[in-house]
Amino acid sequence: MGIMMESNELNISEITRRSGISHSSVEIHLELLVELGLLTEKRFNRIRIFRVNHSNPYTNAWALPLGMEVHLVGVQPGVARAFS
């Protein structure tokens, strides 16, 4: 998720290259992150582009350990305090 937070939008091949993880492992993780609503996916024939879903308030929680400034909008108060 850190690679995605830094770039916002990437295809599987680029994520695989940057992470050093196998294509199949990256694909499994990306599909889970899409299912959780942390990423969105666009398809252009065989090309799959993944993008960070900033409308999901939990997505911003990933940015905090990376030192990125975020605003936890729409998150329950107790959760927001834990990340501030």
Tokens encoding 29? 């993780």
Please state, in angstroms and rounded to a whole number, the distance separating the CA atoms of residues 52 and 66: 15
Please state, in angstroms and rounded to a whole number, the distance separating the CA atoms of residues 6 and 15: 11
Residue 23 amino acid letter: H
Check residue 7 and give its pLDDT.
80
- pLDDT digits over 29-83, tens only? 899 889 888 899 999 998 999 999 988 878 766 655 544 444 444 444 444 444 4
Distances (CA, A) of 59 to 1, 9, 47, 52, 69: 9, 14, 24, 8, 12
Assessment of whether the complete model's pTM goes beyond 0.85: no
